[in-house]
Amino acid sequence: MWTRGQDMVGASNLLGVDVMTGHWEFTYLEAEVLQNAKLFNGDFVAQNIKAKEAALFEGIAVFDEDSGHIFPPYVIKSVNGRRIAVIGQAFPYTPIANPSRFIPNWTFGIQEQELQSQVDNIRASERPDAVILLSHNGMDVDLKLASRVTGIDFIMGGHTHDGVPVPVTVKNASGLTVVTNAGSNGKFVSVL
């Protein structure tokens, strides 16, 4: 709290984190969140955070005016010669967990239909070798999402404080999605 989150940005930079989505970052004010995201050396992605309609008319800062996304919804990474799409899914219940006065101009939520559209568009336009959802939903929501949203190869989640030592494979209408969760507080690291 003393550094308004900047100490954790510094720690993430030192650790070499290259893609992140959010949860407790939204305990700070909008301007502080945007500043911290700018200080992060990696990519801060969140497909489920958009500007409220009234805020767009007032001209608040957004990543994309057409979609209203505050942050890039995804990033393409090259890993061992493969193109990997990493979609961010920030903590959907931020307006319930934190006072709404901290982030008055942004919407959150699970955004299942938006996520399906993102996956479909990414698969069609980017043609990645794999699509990963970097999620802060929690394992229960991730399992449900994996059963309903098609085209995601892996969900690598956070928020659930229990370690998930063996990933769960979930069937959906077009195939399989592998879901795991890394626990909390750095106790576990998910490896793919």
Going by pLDDT thresholds of 50, 70 and 90, the confidence category of residue 43 is: very high
54 burial type by CB count under 10 A (0-12 exposed, 13-18 middle, 19+ buried): exposed
Find the mean pLDDT for residues 111-118.
97
pLDDT at 111: 96
Q: How far apart (Å, rounded) are the C-alpha atoms in residues 135 and 139?
A: 9
Cα→Cα distances 190→87, 100, 182, Å: 16, 32, 5
- Which amino acid makes up residue 72? P
Whether the per-residue pLDDT at 42 is higher than 80: the answer is yes
Give the CA distances from residue 141 to residues 112, 144, 145, 164, 188, in Å, rounded to whole numbers and listed in that order: 11, 5, 6, 14, 20
Q: How confident is the model at residue 128 (pLDDT cuts 50, 70, 90)?
A: very high
Q: Tell me: the pLDDT tens digits for 5-35?
A: 899 999 999 999 999 999 988 889 999 999 9
The owner of tokens 């510094």 is 10
Q: What is the mean pLDDT of the chain?
A: 94
pLDDT for 90-101, tens place per residue?
999 998 888 888
**Count of other CB atoms within 10 angstroms of residue 64:** 13
